[in-house]
């Protein structure tokens, strides 16, 4: 990354990916927590998976693990090591 504008492009790309991953995690949590939860009037015992109802297992156990791994992959693939010092000798694009 030689020019300042190239650094800004990379920073914007990283920010967009981070926001997209955060929104995807919220969507995952919301759909699995509220979409799979039993109805309010349903008093029957839900099916348990590893001792947890499916909505809890997906939203509170699987989701954080999955999105932690996705965050690590995003850091390895999308993020780049950028110098923070500005060299005024180099022209911008």
Domain ranges of the chain: 16-37+46-79
Residue where the block lists tokens 């990916």: 17
pLDDT of residue 1: 52
Largest CA distance in the chain: 72
pLDDT of residue 88: 62
pLDDT of residue 2: 66
Separation of alpha carbons 10 and 21, rounded Å: 17
Per-block mean pLDDT, blocks of 10 residues, the chain (93 long): 79 95 96 82 78 90 96 94 71 54
92, 5 contact by CB (below 8 A): yes
pLDDT of residue 26: 96
pLDDT of residue 42: 73
Separation of alpha carbons 36 and 47, rounded Å: 12
pLDDT of residue 92: 53
């Amino acid at each position: 990354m030689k020019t300042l504008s190239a650094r800004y492009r990379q920073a914007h790309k990283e920010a967009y990916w981070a926001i997209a991953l955060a929104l995807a995690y919220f969507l995952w949590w919301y759909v699995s927590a509220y979409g799979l939860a039993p109805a309010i009037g349903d008093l029957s015992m839900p099916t348990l998976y590893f001792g947890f109802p499916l909505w809890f297992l997906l939203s509170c156990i699987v989701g954080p693990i999955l999105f932690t791994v996705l965050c690590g992959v995003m850091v390895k693939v999308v993020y780049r090591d950028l110098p923070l010092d500005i060299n005024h000798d180099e022209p911008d694009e």
